[in-house]
Chains A and B, each alone.
Chain A
Amino acid sequence: MDGVRDAAKNSATPEYSILLPTYNERENLPIITWLIFDELERAKISAFELIIIDDNSPDGTQAIAKRLQQLYGPERIVLAPREGKLGLGTAYVHGLTFARGTFVVIMDADMSHHPKFIPQFIAAQKASGADIVTGTRYLPAGGVYGWDLRRKLMSRVANYLAQVALRPGVSDLTGSFRLYRKEVLAACVNLTRSKGFIFQMEIVVRARQIGFSIAEVPITFVDRVYGCSKLGNMEIVSYLKGLWSLMWR
Chain B
Amino acid sequence: MKSGPLYLGVLTASAAVWLALYLELAIPLSPSGQQVVSALPCLALIWFGCWSLGTISLNLIRLRECTDAAVELREQIAAARNDLRARGLGDIFDADAK
Whether A and B are associated in the same complex: the answer reads yes
User: How many A-B contacts if CB must be within 8 Å?
Assistant: 89
Contact A144 B65 (CB under 8 A): yes
Interface-lining segment among A4-12, A81-89, A149-157? A149-157
User: Main secondary structure on chain A at its contact with chain B?
Assistant: helix
How many residues of chain B have a CB within 8 Å of chain A?
31
Q: B55–A71 contact, CB under 8 A?
A: no
Pick from A35, A142, A247: contact of B76, CB below 8 A. Answer: A35
Which of under 10, 10 to 19, 20 to 34, or 35 or more describes the interface residues of A?
35 or more
A114 near B92 (CB under 8 angstroms)? no
Q: Check B73 against A71 for contact (C-beta < 8 Å).
A: no
Minimum Cβ distance to chain A for residue B91 (Å): 10
Residue interface mask A135-146, B partner, CB < 8 A = 1 = 001101011111
With a CB–CB cut-off of 8 A, which chain A residues contact B4?
247-248
Chain A residues within CB distance 8 Å of chain B: 26-27, 30-31, 34-35, 38, 64, 67-68, 71, 111, 114, 137-138, 140, 142-146, 152-153, 155-157, 159-160, 164-167, 209, 220-222, 224, 247-249
- Interface residues of chain B, those whose CB is within 8 Å of chain A, are 2-7, 52, 55-56, 59-60, 62-67, 69-70, 73, 76-77, 80-81, 83-84, 87, 89, 92-93, 96
